């Protein structure tokens, strides 16, 4: 198995606060890895640094052995890292279909002139794109809502649409930021099945932030536990569950 993502000695400060403190991660292709830890542990900051929204103060991020630390967010996305956001960020006034189409724009090779003249190439590629997008929507179960406005969808559907949009990018690595946030038990069970299906179908590697332990247990091969930017435990969920530091981080120190 080859490593798809490797993070070495990553540091990020915000005005003196260590948001990430020498973070390490090696993620093998085809795995699902969980980042867990209390609020403010620096999980989303790691996502934002991997996707290029933040520049790290030091440390390296390698995606398929290529350094991506100085790349712009759109370049990192084009290389094959898709993501969702903790507070959903859809193109809210656009249709469900449009949301997915935008993420597939990279498949398109026609240029402005060919589009202006509406040459066969334009038509063919647009048709293929639409077909691909509709297939994807069918997989996530939103095909009947393709023309609905994204912000008119119920919350659970919006989460699914965001995942579909990230997948439309043809990523190799998918970063999910709290996909089960705000879902009840039943919905999270469904989500676990959904993520598994997506992962197999599109040959994805997944790095996810999640608070619902049943979701983490159902999906993650390995987890990293963070607290105040520091890694306090690594391993399978069962391994870290009994770790003293982890228990303290979640429940507070024993008196």
CA nearest 82: which of 163, 158, 195?
A: 163
The residues pairing with 26 across neighbouring beta strands, listed in sequence order, are 6
Rank residues 132 and 241 by Cβ distance to other proteins and give the closer one: 132
User: Alpha helix (H) ranges present in the chain?
Assistant: 43-50, 73-79, 96-104, 112-116, 120-140, 155-168, 185-201, 213-219, 237-241, 244-251
Query: DSSP string spanning 179-210?
Result: TTTT--HHHHHHHHHHHHHHHHHTT-EEEEE-
Q: What is the C-alpha separation between 165 and 62, in angstroms, rounded?
A: 24
Residues 6+ apart with CB under 8 A from 62: 3, 5, 6, 7, 8, 68
Q: How far is the CB of 253 from other proteins (least distance, A)?
A: 29
- Write the interaction track for other proteins spanning residues 38-57; mark x where CB under 8 A is met and - where it is not: ------x--xx--x-xx---
Rank residues 142 and 169 by Cβ distance to other proteins and give the closer one: 169
Structure tokens, 9: 């000695």
**Contact predicate 75/52, CB 8 Å:** yes
Q: How far is the CB of 86 from other proteins (least distance, A)?
A: 8
**Footprint of other proteins on residues 155-194 (CB under 8 A)?**
165-166, 168-169
**Footprint of other proteins on residues 98-157 (CB under 8 A)?**
98, 101-103, 105-106, 108, 110, 112, 115-116, 118, 122, 126
Residues 6+ apart with CB under 8 A from 8: 24, 59, 60, 61, 62
Q: How far is the CB of 87 from other proteins (least distance, A)?
A: 9
Q: How far is the CB of 165 from other proteins (least distance, A)?
A: 6
**Contact predicate 84/31, CB 8 Å:** no
**Footprint of other proteins on residues 66-95 (CB under 8 A)?**
72-74, 77-78, 82-83, 85-86, 89-94
Rank residues 168 and 237 by Cβ distance to other proteins and give the closer one: 168
Rank residues 121 and 241 by Cβ distance to other proteins and give the closer one: 121
The residues pairing with 28 across neighbouring beta strands, listed in sequence order, are 3
Count of residues touching other proteins (by CB under 8 A)? 39
Rank residues 51 and 69 by Cβ distance to other proteins and give the closer one: 51
Question: Which parts of this chain interact with other proteins (CB under 8 A)?
Answer: 44, 47-48, 51, 53-54, 72-74, 77-78, 82-83, 85-86, 89-94, 98, 101-103, 105-106, 108, 110, 112, 115-116, 118, 122, 126, 165-166, 168-169
């Amino acid at each position: 198995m080859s490593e798809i993502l490797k993070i070495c000695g990553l540091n990020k400060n915000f005005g003196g606060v260590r948001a990430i403190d020498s973070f390490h991660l090696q993620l093998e292709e085809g795995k699902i890895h969980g980042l867990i830890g209390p609020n403010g542990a620096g999980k989303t900051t790691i996502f934002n640094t991997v996707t290029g929204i933040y520049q790290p103060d030091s440390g390296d991020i390698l995606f398929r052995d290529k350094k991506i630390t100085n790349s712009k967010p759109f370049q990192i996305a084009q290389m094959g890292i898709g993501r969702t956001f903790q507070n959903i960020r859809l193109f809210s006034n656009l249709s469900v279909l449009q949301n997915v189409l935008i993420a597939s724009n990279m498949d398109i090779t026609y240029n402005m002139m060919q589009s202006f003249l509406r040459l066969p190439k334009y038509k063919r590629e647009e048709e293929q794109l639409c077909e691909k997008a509709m297939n994807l929507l069918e997989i996530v179960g939103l095909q009947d809502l393709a023309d609905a406005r994204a912000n008119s969808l119920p919350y659970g559907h919006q989460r699914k649409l965001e995942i579909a949009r990230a997948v439309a990018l043809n990523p190799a690595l998918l970063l999910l930021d709290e996909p089960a946030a705000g879902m009840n038990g039943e919905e999270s069970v469904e989500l676990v099945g959904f993520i598994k299906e997506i992962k197999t179908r599109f040959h994805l590697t997944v790095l996810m932030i999640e608070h619902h332990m049943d979701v983490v247990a159902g999906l993650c091969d390995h987890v990293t536990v963070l607290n105040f930017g520091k890694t306090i435990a690594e391993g399978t969920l069962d391994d870290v569950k009994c770790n003293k530091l982890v228990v303290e981080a979640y429940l507070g120190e024993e008196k």
